[in-house]
Structure 1
Amino acid sequence: MKPSKSIVVFEHEPFHFKEEHKKMKLDIALENYHGDGTPFFSLIRNGVQFNQHVGVLKVGHTTIEVLPKADRSNEKGVWKQLLIDMIKTVWGFDVKISSRADLKLKNTTVLDLYFELYVKELEQLLHRGLIKRYNKKEGNLYALKGSLQFSKHISQNLIHKERFYVKYSNYDIDHKIHHILYKALKLVELHYNQPDLGSRIGTLLLNFPEMPDIKVTESTFESINFDRKNLHYENALQIAKLLLLNYHPDVSRGKNNVLALMFDMNLLWEQFVYIVLKKNIKHKAVRIKSQQIKEFWRSKNTSSRMKPDIVIETNNTVVVLDTKWKNLNKKGKPSPEDLRQMYAYHRYFKASRTALVYPGEESKLINGNYTPIHDDESKLTCGMAFISTHKDIQQWKTNIISFVKENFLEIID
């Protein structure tokens, strides 16, 4: 494993190539990768401009971490850990870190998180025992087995009367699921940074049977059917899918392969707030739903739908929350498009209250009233809800729960 160079930037920041980056061909690698249609950054003069996507770009032996930022803090270590904790919360990851946790976390990236998870899943699969599947094979055998492939038998065995070219089914561990997992394991071996993972990866490669290399696409995973026998493979296959489909090998030089694990921060913030509320607000009169869809326009051949981020229903009220990962300044105001969207939620979801939910340096709710057009609209409001971020993920979650309870769910003690 060659030492990895690390670059850390915040979302929406420009990154300019220095002479050392150009010597490593980092500029060419990112320009070529951008040519594949990547949405994570745009090209600028002598550099790249990152957007709302956060995570890790591994280019050759260089790791570029793009971190979220919702306040004036420039503490990259804090936001690195918060990003990892947000991802753990949203996807329910439970990574057991060694006793040297504080030392490890200083250098841990999102990529390391997934590598750790993947290695852990494979270790569990091997301990449990790899499943067998029937798979079709063909070849020259010394015994007649399955169905004889007559044309190939004649062409290949004209002078070998003792052989039979046959097509047959074999019940073993050499099948597509294990081909995928082995390919992802080889990818992890190529890109891991944490020394502690090296020995575990080596042990896995010794114990996991070598599999043929296959071409993996989206359809490869879509063709896998889960049943009672292989359901415990689902987590490993999900991580393998994430890794393999976001790997872009450098076919021209072979030195600057790109592995991208990037997340749209708007979606991550939405899912984070929803999961925190869903898991922690338990009340028989409260129902918290995500992505509720309603149709609001239709023509002969098409239609359009609306889909708020979070809908909170009680026995007699409906609250619609729409999350926005934006850092509004003191004089900031919602965009007209966001306000019109919230007005539509009032009408179509019969919401008593709506609010745009932002991360903030302090928790506060600023209510605004829609100008009434009809008598029944006199109480339509849209608030700007700012929920205080915190460097400790548990305190941040507490801030979210307390804010929603105090401002939107008066029925909860």
Structure 2
Amino acid sequence: MSDLITVREYAYLSVAYAGCPESTIDHAYISSSAFDHLCELSASFSRHGAKVFELAGRRKLRLDQYVGVLETKCGTRIEILPKHVDIEPSESNEMVIAKERELLKKMLKVSLHLPYRDAGEANLSRFKQPIHEWIIDQFLCNFEKLIQRGLRFDYQRVQEEQKYLRGQLQHVKHMRQSPARKHIFPIEHDIYEVDRPENRLIKTALEVVCKKTRSSKNWKLAQELRLMTGEIPKSQNIAQDFKQWQSGRLLVLYADIKPWTELILSEYMPVSTQGGWRGMSLLFPMERLFEHYVAYHLRRILKDWKVKTQASSQHICTHENRQIFKLKPDIYIEKQNKKIVLDTKWKLIDQNNLSGRYGLKDSDIQQMFAYSHHYLQHSSEVILIYPYRKDKFYQPLPQFAFNATDNRALLKVIPFNLDKPDDIKNYIFAPTQNIVLLK
């Protein structure tokens, strides 16, 4: 059985057995030891309020809305991709995986502010890399570029005893020495060396890469860089060294590699897990990635609008003369007297399913009503944004009215095409369509 399993959101993971079907991106079979490790992680996440897996049977797990990569104790790596495209009859699993990987790369680049650069056709083969190998590849490319341009050194203050004078003599210590040690000088001086927080963190990330990569190309480059940086010590306090990471004109070359170093060393997880084993663990909530991706493109498209994320100026209740329970819409845009509240939902809806209310949830509509009332006083529309789906959700739904007597209290439900983000501008400012009264 392969030690790399690639699945999508909401896929099932079952324990493999003799004669079990071949794994697909929506239902994969893993070893018993890997399954038990995921069950332990699931219990740990649940205690902290994060839902990454849920039991769907005695020997079956169902994934939730987290994407990325998980490594178990037995060495199995599970790559979790977004569930964004429907599988066409003419498409293979490999084609769908390539599309979803490329989408996740774009969303991570925007959400984590990664300085990702792709050279075009020469790098098409990288699309086949799992997400963690892509991250490692970007880190190594930036590190190689940094070494070619020159690592930054720094002065370190050193206190030592020598038989010769160098730097500054520590007179008090020297005077207190016994006559037999008068020929020994306690001195203090600066050494110009490569040992500085930025270099220590990069070296520590390189050590992680050397152990975790399974790409022969990445392993070879990592070992070469390791030999060239043997004099750099590893970081003994990663959190403290990140606080001391400096920026400025002399360290501008370090700006590109910092996000990749943070990504590798922090090993993103929904919650902090107990114990010594973490593996290569990078998990991201798709709801948050989608929100950041939409907000990024709105800022780019609506340059004359003020775009704010996670606004929190309004509360839904007043209790004992103070406001409680904040209302935090995902995106709030404003231009002069025009205000619009937008909320992103990483859910798949079907505009052809009118009897099922398109797949919209009561809680989402009630949430938008609260935004309309408290942020806009029902004077402008609120907008729900869902991912675009070919043949399922490719145009805005007829607008919904919160109030039969006021056509300003409207709710729009619009698609966001992740491949054509500029289309959203036309949907936001489209004229009023057929209105459905909410009851």
Q: TM-score, normalised by structure 1?
A: 0.79
Aligned-residue offset at 1:5: 2.3
Tell me the number of residue pairs that the alignment of Structure 1 and Structure 2 aligns: 390
- The CA distance in 1 between the partners of 2:310 and 2:185, in whole Å, is 59
Aligned 8 A contact 1:138 1:167 in 2: yes
Aligned-residue offset at 1:269: 0.8
Aligned-residue offset at 1:22: 3.8
Q: 1:227 — aligned with what?
A: 248
Aligned 8 A contact 1:123 1:204 in 2: yes
Which of the residues 38, 48, 52 maps onto 1:30? 38
Aligned-residue offset at 1:226: 3.0
Aligned-residue offset at 1:386: 2.9
- The CA distance in 2 between the partners of 1:15 and 1:167, in whole Å, is 61
1:9 equivalenced with 2:12 (yes/no): no
Q: 2:436 — aligned with what?
A: none
1:41 equivalenced with 2:49 (yes/no): no
Gaps of 5+ in 2: 18-28, 88-92, 432-439
Which of the residues 191, 208, 213 maps onto 2:234? 213
Aligned-residue offset at 1:52: 0.7
1:371 equivalenced with 2:399 (yes/no): no
Distance 1:213 1:35, change over 3 A: farther
Q: 1:305 — aligned with what?
A: 326
Aligned 8 A contact 2:301 2:425 in 1: no
Aligned-residue offset at 1:232: 3.6
Which of the residues 285, 289, 310 maps onto 1:291? 310
- The CA distance in 1 between the partners of 2:340 and 2:12, in whole Å, is 38
Q: How much is the aligned-residue C-alpha RMSD, in angstroms?
A: 3.8
**1:162-192 CA distances to partner (integer Å, 9 max, x unpaired)?**
5456565433221222111100011111112
Aligned-residue offset at 1:356: 1.0
Q: 1:239 — aligned with what?
A: 260
1:186 equivalenced with 2:212 (yes/no): no
* Greater RCO structure (CA 8 Å; 6+ sep): 1
**1:240-275 CA distances to partner (integer Å, 9 max, x unpaired)?**
122112189x999x9x75111221100111111122
Distance 1:140 1:5, change over 3 A: farther
Aligned 8 A contact 2:396 2:427 in 1: no
- Give runs of aligned pairs for residues 194-343 of structure 1, distance below 5 A: 194-246=215-267, 258-282=279-303, 284=304, 286-296=305-315, 303-329=324-350, 330=353, 331=356, 332-343=358-369
Aligned-residue offset at 1:65: 0.8
Q: TM-score, normalised by structure 2?
A: 0.75
Distance 1:301 1:72, change over 3 A: same
Distance 1:171 1:117, change over 3 A: same
1:52 equivalenced with 2:44 (yes/no): no
Distance 1:89 1:42, change over 3 A: closer
Q: 1:393 — aligned with what?
A: none
1:358 equivalenced with 2:386 (yes/no): yes
- The CA distance in 2 between the partners of 1:235 and 1:153, in whole Å, is 50
Q: 1:173 — aligned with what?
A: 194
- The CA distance in 2 between the partners of 1:149 and 1:251, in whole Å, is 50
Instruction: Give SS of 1:56's match.
Output: strand
Which of the residues 391, 403, 411 maps onto 1:382? 411
Aligned 8 A contact 2:169 2:188 in 1: yes
